[in-house]
Chain A
Amino acid sequence: MLRLPRFKYLRPQTAREAARMAADLGPAAMFVAGGTDLFPKLKRRQFEIETLIALDFLPRQVQNGSTDCVVGAGVTLAAASSDEHLNQNFAGYAEAAGLVSSPPLRNAGTVGGNLCVDTRCNYYDMTYEWRKAAGFCIKKDGDICLVAPSSPRCWAVSSSDTAPMAIALDGVVMLTGPDSERELPVSALYRDDGIDYMAKQPGEVVTALRLSAERETKTAYVKLRRRGSIDFPIAGAAVALRLDGDTVVACRIVLSAVASHPLEATEAEAFLKNHQINAETIRETADIAAKPAKPLDNADLSHFWRKRMVRVVVEQALQQAATRIRGSKVKLLGR
């Protein structure tokens, strides 16, 4: 069977202590929370580390305010997806958390972990032996991108289901570094690079996620994947809408799995704002939103089709958000 490499295991008691350990040990150490992304990658030798720093101390509570909500980074995705307050007021977030991978995995995977989930590529998420046979890629051990060999960068895909929704909900992460704490909007947490995909310092620990939205903000997350479970997104749309009657007064649309970072469709947002929401404007908005999406041939199904599907997932997410009754569950695309 595939096994983990040997490592040292450290158990800091606080985020500060964890951050200091990470700063001391440098790239030879990594944080582990639920381990659902990390352990497969360690078994495939996509990371080579000597030390794991356990984040068992992370808060596992959801704290509710009137228009905001602080979700501890240690809250499991299962807990987030079934949390009553999140389902009431941030339904799209709960929905996104509930669509990550599969039920047993969501019982271990955490809110913080899904925000930090490594970018994916089907030339990279392979065993050491496979990658050695294929020729190593720029993200690990090699010097070219096997998807776009003429490009100087890595095109691995941001595959978090919850990050786009967190951005759409003006999410802010609480970060603890070796010496200080700070808040960072989730929209600023990512970089457009398959390798250095996070803008936080490697030693900073994500301790919580604060979501906020004006009352009556309607949200939805639509995820496209081949099967009803287990699979990562191959396209997705997170939408947060606020309506005055039929008029859109605020609108956020963030795409998943079409770039190396969660991709905010700003042009589409600007277009829809102050428009009436109806089938026609939804279609137009979706067309505009799909334009910046550039899926490549490094995930399931053809990138042509995935590009085509971006419009569809945006449209469905807008429709669902617009018609959503508070707390209702949305049926999956195509199922």
Chain B
Amino acid sequence: MRESPHPALRADLPGERGGQFSVVGKPLPRVDAVAKVTGRAMYADDMLLPRTLHCRILRSPHPHARILSIDTSAARRIPGVQAVITGADLPIKFGILPVTQDERALEHEKVRYVGDPIAAVAATEEEIAAAACDAIVVEYEVLDPVMSIDEALVAPKDERIQDYGGPNNIHKLVALEFGDVDGGFARADLVREDVFFFQGNTHLPMEQHSAIATYVDGRITLWSSTQVVHYVHRALARVLELPMNRIRVIGAAHGGGFGGKTDPFAHEIIVCKLAMMTGRPVKCTLTREEVFYAHRGRHPVLMWVRTGVTRDGRITAMHFRTALDGGAYGSYGVASTFYTGALQTVTYDIPAYRFEGCRVFTNKPPCGPKRGHGTPQPRFALELQLEKIAHDLGLDPVDLKQRNFVKPMTRTVNWLRITSCGLDECTDRVVTASNYKRRDRRPGHGMGFAISSYLSGAGTAIYWNDMPHSEVQIKLDRGGVTTYCGAMDIGQGSDSVLATIVAEELGLQPADVRLVTADTDTTPIDLGSYSSRVTFMAGNAAIAAARKMRAMLVEAAAAKMGCETSAVAVGRGRIGDFTFEEASVLAEARFGTLVSAGSYTPPKIAGPYKGSGVGPSPAYSYTACVVDLDADPRTGLVQVNKIWIAHDVGRAINPLLVEGQVEGSVYMGLGEALMEEQTFRKGLHKWPSMLEYKSPTFLDMPEVETFIVETVDPEGPYGAKEAGQGPLLPVPPAVCSAVYDALGVWVDEVPVTPEKVVEALRRKAKGEPARFGPARFPTIPYPPTIKVEPPPRDLQIAAPAAI
């Protein structure tokens, strides 16, 4: 038995002693950086297989109509047209949630929004396919459209949009109560009610959705710009009536998702069907206008909030009502509805909480998950109302909020388990750096503060099952490490995170690790890039797989060295006395084919009530933000000068990627706060274009100062939590608070356009309430409230990590 040559670097697992990481925590370039900066990353629309046909889709010109007939004969006669399909060819319904299987790839009975797909053409040239779509004659019986929450709540003139849900065009109703809400209000010194509105907006990825399918030897292969290959796989099997083993879905390089490519989409199903019919590859890339119709973006949400506080600003009870304008289909809407009520309790200690939620169907493109999924809207209302309460009580808003912060290792009144929580540190960072408490009081200048929290992955799967949420396999031969995982890198850098973790565990550099990801034939399952789940879940699975591989390498090396495994140092490309290559040869000789696998299943932490599946997460990220702006009372124009943001990511596996996610979230939040909105006029999307849908340019983006706060979560991979969504949430309310600070008027809805600011100032000047925002919350037939007993609030022991 020999001593290890590097006693200081014993075989401790990475991160278990401070400062021992070799690649985790380093600002390394992403593993696909060169491909992306040289234009060599292959996005779906870049692919062209031999004999590829081009597909275009005919879409409804009416927001609501019955289809009486579809005549495709003229389209079929156009030279170059190879196939024309309609809803009769794809009659089986699908949908992302098992409870709302309400979509068809092509509708042949009824259309529900302008842009609903009706027919599709495959032709030798895209322009021929487009002309053929125009030659299809559809006869409609036009129905009265429902275009607002108010209209959806009353009896429709003609007929309901969907044949489920109700009454009228209500899709989903929720009513939950935790703790003694009435008692909480009774003991409050101040009870405040406010109404807020968060306008809908869309993801606007730079890449238009694209999919290309080929059908050979009875097997479909689809390359798509999707965030979740697995959900596309499931939907294809269902609609095409093929076993899953006959379908392969591969995630192409991804040009931006933000939640907008998380549903299975009509065009993905259509190209597969057309490929099967024509025996040729078929590609469909949506036009920018079609991307607006595919949507699944931010729900417009109307909110009524009643909060009770004591004189010193302690929350005693909260009653939160939401009404979501869901658009024409279910999508993730049931989950979205629950999310508008779930996470209020995760930042503030609310001892008694009642939530009533309602989602309605309207004749608009379906809403779904956009960055923050269902939580930026209530966060906006919650933060602004607490600001108002602070002003009512003459307290500093930061102090009032801080007084109510949740504590680490607790449970919320609605049974959500909080492990690590860096709210205080995040707040201190931004308040200090921005000099918020001693801010410049010049006229028109204002600063606003807000906080937020978000999931590190949903604790329950979209379709009920007990299987792991993420799985990783590692193969090693002759020194070459390949990591397989179903996770999809949508630009957030999940491939780089996987490579970093595997490299850390095996003592390599991320560039030494080959990756195969997002391919349903070759990679084990991962539920995809949404709900900020990949770093946490795939990361933990990768650690589990890598540690098994590491153990084999160490054992083989120890045997050769004649020492205990604990004496084998791993790192700097070496395993004990051997190079990594030598050790892998030893291990392969000893164990045969070197493969290892790891998986991650979230702990079962959901509360004991119906609907408790939405909200639980193995860990929550926390953010605090200060916005500094100038607002012009004459024009209402707002110029944001600077944003400070601190984000508790648990542990930054790659700080460069974390900063990128935080800065990108701030950007998107600022767009939503100031200019982005998905609005409709006469049943049509008012501006489905990059010109008229206002996405901030280089000149509209202020400097952002980012602080990474590391609380080292007990269950995250090396303590890591999410970074991709949470930092968006505090930006809109901080902007509105800053506008109030600057001008003394509340704009209780986003986007904060100059005309709203000017109108609020006009009202103030006339002695009316100094605000712009919704006047009332409609009467909604919420069901009887389900009363849920709160859990013990102290969390003595966190559940052990799943790895």
Q: Which residues of A contact B130 (CB under 8 A)?
A: 3
Query: How would residues 1 to 22 of chain A score, 1 for a CB under 8 Å from any chain B CB and 0 otherwise?
Result: 1110010000000000000000
Contacts of B632 in A (CB 8 A): 334
CB distance from B758 to the nearest CB of A (A): 6
Which of chain B's residues have a CB closer than 8 A to the CB of A134? 682, 684
Are A228 and B700 touching (Cβ within 8 A)? yes
**Looking at the complex, which of B148-156, B499-507, B614-622, B686-694 is the stretch in contact with chain A?**
B686-694
Taking the complex as formed, is B482 at the interface, i.e. its CB lies under 8 A from any CB of chain A? no
A335 with B639: CB separation less than 8 A: yes
Q: Point out the residue from A129, A227, A312 that lies within 8 Å of B696, measured CB to CB.
A: A227
B682: chain A residues at CB < 8 Å are: 134
* Other-chain contact of B637, A129, A230, A232, A334 (Cβ < 8 Å): A334
Look across to chain A and name the residue whose beta carbon is closest to the beta carbon of B675. Answer: A226
Q: State whether B754 touches A305 (Cβ < 8 A).
A: yes
Once the chains bind, are B754 and A129 in contact (CB under 8 Å)? no
User: Residue among A102, A127, A128 with the most chain B CB within 10 A?
Assistant: A127
Does chain B have a CB within 8 A of A271? Answer: no
Residues of B within 8 A of A333 (CB): 635, 637
- Which chain B residues border A304 with CB–CB below 8 Å? 755
Tell me whether A302 is interfacial, beta carbon within 8 Å.
yes
The interface bits of chain A over 230-253 (1 if a CB of B lies within 8 angstroms of the residue's CB, else 0) are 111000000000000000000000
Decide if A302 touches B61 in the complex (CB within 8 Å): no
Contact pick for A308, options B114, B289, B697, B758, CB 8 Å:
B758
In the complex, which residues of chain A have a beta carbon less than 8 angstroms from the beta carbon of B134? 128
Is B126 an interface residue when CB atoms closer than 8 A count as contact? yes
* A300 lies within 8 A of chain B by Cβ: yes
Could you tell me if B754 and A133 are in contact, using CB atoms closer than 8 angstroms?
Answer: no
Q: Is the Cβ of A227 less than 8 Å from the Cβ of B700?
A: yes
The distance in angstroms between the C-alpha atoms of A218 and B127, with both chains bound, is 51
Q: Which residues of B contact A133 (CB under 8 A)?
A: 60-62, 114, 684
Q: How far is A130 from B287 in the complex, measured between Cα atoms in Å?
A: 12
- The residues in A between 119 and 149 inclusive whose CB is less than 8 angstroms from any CB of B are 122, 125-130, 132-134
Q: Of A126, A130, A227, A312, which one neighbours B635 at CB under 8 angstroms?
A: A312
Binary flags per residue of B659-700, CB closer than 8 Å to A gives 1, else 0 = 000000000000000010000001011111101101011111
Find out whether the CB atom of B287 lies under 8 angstroms from the CB atom of A1.
yes
Interface residues of B in 272-301 (CB under 8 A from A): 285, 287-289
Q: Is the CB of B753 closer than 8 A to any CB of chain A?
A: yes
Q: What string of 1s and 0s marks CB contacts (under 8 Å) between A305-318 and chain B?
A: 10011001000000
A129 to B684, CA, bound (A): 11
CA distance A73 to B251 in the complex (A): 48
Q: Which residues of chain A have C-beta atoms less than 8 A from B697's C-beta?
A: 102, 227-230
A279 near B: Cβ within 8 Å? no
Is A301 close to B, CB under 8 A?
yes
CB distance B636 to A305 under 8 Å? yes
Decide if B51 is an interface residue (CB 8 Å cutoff): no
* Complex Cα spacing A307 to B744, Å: 24
Taking a contact as CB atoms under 8 Å apart, the answer to whether B61 and A231 are in contact is no
In the complex, A301 Cα to B757 Cα: how many Å?
A: 13
CB distance from A296 to the nearest CB of B (A): 13
Question: Which chain A positions have C-beta within 8 A of B758?
Answer: 305, 308
With both chains docked as a complex, state the minimum distance between the C-beta of B557 and any C-beta of chain A, in angstroms.
55
Chain A residues positioned under 8 Å from B208 (CB to CB) = 1
Q: Are B687 and A122 in contact (CB under 8 A)?
A: yes
Instruction: State in angstroms the CA–CA spacing of A3 and B127 once bound together.
Output: 7
- Asked if residues B675 and A334 are in contact (CB atoms below 8 Å), the reply is no
Interface size classification for chain A: 20 to 34
Contact of B754 among A130, A228, A232, A301 (CB under 8 A): A301
One of B126, B287, B692, B699 near A300 (C-beta < 8 A): B692
Residues of A within 8 A of B289 (CB): 127, 129-130
A-B contact count (CB 8 A): 78
Shortest beta-carbon distance from A155 to chain B in Å: 16
CA distance A229 to B686 in the complex (A): 21
On whether the beta carbons of B684 and A130 are closer than 8 Å, the reply is yes
Closest CB-CB distance, A258 to chain B, in whole Å?
Answer: 16
Known contacts A122-B692, A133-B684; A334/B755 CB under 8 A: no
Within 8 A of A (CB), among B617-672: 632, 634-637, 639
Interface assignment of B59: CB less than 8 Å from any CB of chain A: yes
Quote the shortest CB–CB distance from B719 to chain A (angstroms). 40
**A2: which B residues are within 8 A, CB to CB?**
287-288
Looking at the complex, which one of A1, A122, A227, A228 makes contact with B126 (CB distance below 8 Å)?
A: A1
Whether the Cβ atoms of B675 and A302 lie closer than 8 Å is: no
Q: How far is the CA of A47 from the CA of B635 in the complex (A)?
A: 37
A305 to B762, CA, bound (A): 12
**Looking across the interface, which residue of chain B has its beta carbon closest to that of A101?**
B691
**A304 — nearest CB in chain B belongs to which residue?**
B755
Q: Which of B45-61 contact A (CB under 8 A)?
A: 59-61
Q: Contact check, A309 vs B635: say whether CB atoms are below 8 A apart.
A: yes
Task: Return chain B residues, CB-CB under 8 Å to A122.
Answer: 686-687, 692
The closest CB in chain A to the CB of B694 belongs to A226
Pick from A3, A125, A129, A309: contact of B61, CB under 8 Å: A129
| Residue from A2, A6, A132 having most chain B Cβ neighbours under 10 A | A2
Q: A132 contacts which chain B residues (CB < 8 A)?
A: 61
Instruction: Give every chain A residue within 8 A of B684 (Cβ-Cβ).
Output: 130, 133-134
For the complex, give the distance between the alpha carbons of A311 and B61 in Å: 40
Residue of B nearest to A43 (CB): B287
CA separation between A309 and B755, bound complex, in Å? Answer: 10
- Structural contact, B699 and A229, CB atoms closer than 8 A: yes
Residues 279-308 of A at the B interface (beta carbon under 8 Å):
300-302, 304-305, 308
Which of A3, A102, A227, A229 has a CB less than 8 Å from the CB of B675? A227
Complex Cα gap A308–B61 (Å)? 35
A residues 20-49 touching B (CB-CB < 8 Å): none
Given the interface pairs A133-B62, A302-B755, A305-B758, the reply to whether A230 lies near B691 with Cβ below 8 Å is yes
Looking at the assembled complex, report how far the CB atom of A45 sits from the nearest CB atom of chain B, in whole angstroms.
10
Residue of A nearest to B286 (CB): A1
In the bound assembly, the distance between CA atoms of A230 and B700 in angstroms comes to: 11
Annotate B132-173 by CB proximity to A: 1 below 8 A, 0 otherwise.
001000000000000000000000000000000000000000
Give B17-65 interface residues, CB cut-off 8 Å to A: 59-62
A129–B637 Cα gap in the complex (Å)? 34
CB distance from B547 to the nearest CB of A (A): 47
Contact mask B689-722 → A, CB, 8 Å, 1/0? 1011010111110000000000000000000000
Smallest CB separation, B297 vs chain A (Å): 18
On whether A1 and B635 interact (CB within 8 A), knowing A129-B59, A228-B697, A230-B691, the answer reads no
Closest to A334 in B: B637
Residue of A nearest to B682 (CB): A134
How far, in angstroms, from A130 to B684 measured CA to CA in the complex?
A: 8
B119 nearest CB across to chain A (Å)? 13
Chain B residues contacting A130 (CB-CB under 8 Å) are 289, 684-685, 688
- A175→B383 CA distance, assembly (Å): 61
A111 to chain B, nearest CB (A): 22
Interface code A210-238, partner B: CB below 8 Å = 1, 0 otherwise? 00000000000000001111111000000
Q: Which of A3, A229, A302, A305 has the most CB of B within 10 A?
A: A305
Contacts of B698 in A (CB 8 A): 228-229
Give the docked Cα–Cα distance between A133 and B111 (Å).
13
- Inter-subunit contact B754/A227 (CB<8 Å): no
Q: How far is the CB of B363 from chain A (nearest CB, A)?
A: 12
Q: Which residues of A contact B127 (CB under 8 A)?
A: 3, 6
Residues in A with CB closer than 8 Å to B635 are: 309, 312, 333-334
Per-position 1/0 for A78-112, Cβ under 8 A of B: 00000000000000000000000010000000000
A126 to B690, CA, bound (A): 11
Question: With a CB–CB cut-off of 8 A, which chain A residues contact B700?
Answer: 227-228
Give the most central of A227, A230, A232, A301: most B CB within 10 Å.
A227
Can you spell out 17 A-B residue pairs with CB atoms less than 8 angstroms apart? A3-B126, A3-B127, A6-B127, A130-B684, A133-B60, A228-B699, A229-B697, A229-B699, A230-B691, A230-B697, A231-B694, A301-B753, A305-B758, A308-B758, A309-B635, A334-B639, A335-B639
The 4 A-B pairs of least Cβ separation, nearest first, read A228-B699, A133-B61, A305-B755, A334-B637
